[in-house]
Amino acid sequence: MEPTASEIRIDAAPLLRVYQDGRIERLLGSQTVPPGLDPKTNVESKDVVYSQETAQSVRIYVPGTVVTSAQKLPLLVYFHGGGFCIETAFSPTYQNYLNALVAEAKIVAVSVDYRRAPEHPIPAAYDDSWTALKWVASHYDGNGPEQWLNRYVDFENVYLSGDSAGANIAHHIAVKTSKEKLDCMNLVGIILTHPFFWGNEPVGDEVKNPAVRAIIEGIWRLASPTTSGSDDPLINPIDDQSFGSFLGCKRVLICVAEKDILKYRGWYYCEKLKNSGWDGEVEVMEAEGEVHVFHLSKPCCSNAVAKVKKVAEFMNQGKA
């Protein structure tokens, strides 16, 4: 019997479902909010197209105090999470988080929207993120197309960050900056929150959760259908012999959560980086009793507030 168009071909709940006719139903992360002035934090945001070819945009955030100061501010380039499949840079989740972080840290943030799988499988997310970073870097001399970046950004103090899949992207983009140098931009550090890394060989207590392992591996194969598997260097860069050799920064902050199975990869990243010969500083912040990306779903809890303060402190310690 032939399958009907309404039958589910891939069930990746709670993220999404793919139907036989190719229709994709995203179960999470589809809501968006417009940019603008946030009265609670006095942070202002706007959307700007960074790629005419793909029609992708970034959302730029500046603190309200910036317009009254001649001081240039550190820049955070942020890549959202969602298993490469859901969420956008324009969701209320990321709007709330970045408004709070920009206000606390007194920085400029650029939140990158990238094409998502399965319509645009890997490496589209990485390609778009690199294109966005190059577009940002084009403003270093004050002559770029976006005046907020021309006026307010200190390109000697640039950080990359993301959560989950976005943290994975941040790592790979940091590596790419060392191989295809953006001489006009000084990448000081990266902040990896609950990073989405994996591997065939279990780390820590991962082996105790075979069902969860299968879900994680399934999400990766959905995002990257041509992958070689869980030891693909894109999902498992940590076991690469050159790990750390090409990380294009000197400071790394890894944020993990006690009840998140991905925390073991975060700690493993730290351990391997320390032993790789990389000449830099790495630290881990673990949130007790918390689950994956808790800071996005519970932004007002004490651990989420502490995380925002830690990231702000990390970025401001690195000021030149």
Give the C-alpha separation, 255 to 269, whole Å.
11
* Average pLDDT of the chain to the nearest whole number: 92
Instruction: Report CA torsion sign: 48, 50, 52, 53.
Output: negative
Backbone angles phi, psi at 296, to 5 degrees: -85, -35
pLDDT of residue 319: 56
pLDDT digits (tens, 9 = 90+) for 290-312: 999 999 999 999 999 999 999 99
The answer to whether the CB of 78 falls within 8 A of the CB of 45 is no
Is the pLDDT at 76 greater than 70, yes or no? Answer: yes
CA distances from 55 to 58, 83, 132, 198 (A): 10, 21, 11, 31
pLDDT of residue 320: 47
Is the pLDDT at 118 greater than 60, yes or no? Answer: yes
Decide if 242 is catalytic: no
Tell me what the mean pLDDT of segment 184-211 comes to: 92
Q: What angle do CA 205, 207, 209 make, to 5 degrees?
A: 90
DSSP single-letter state for residue 200: S
Residue in 6, 164, 178, 302 annotated catalytic? 164
Could you count the other beta carbons within 10 Å of the beta carbon of residue 102? 27
pLDDT of residue 2: 45
* DSSP per-residue codes, 274-310: HTTT--SEEEEEEETT--TTHHHHSTTSHHHHHHHHH
In DSSP terms, which residues pair with 18 in a beta bridge?
A: 10, 24
Q: Say which range, 104-113, 143-152, 239-248, has the weakest mean pLDDT.
A: 239-248
Q: CATH number of the domain at 32-316, please?
A: 3.40.50.1820
The answer to whether the CB of 134 falls within 8 A of the CB of 53 is no
Domain borders along the chain are 1-30, 32-316
By percentage, how much of the chain surpasses pLDDT 90? Answer: 76
Write down the pTM of the prediction: 0.94
256 compared with 16, residue with greater pLDDT: 256
Is the pLDDT at 43 greater than 70, yes or no? Answer: yes
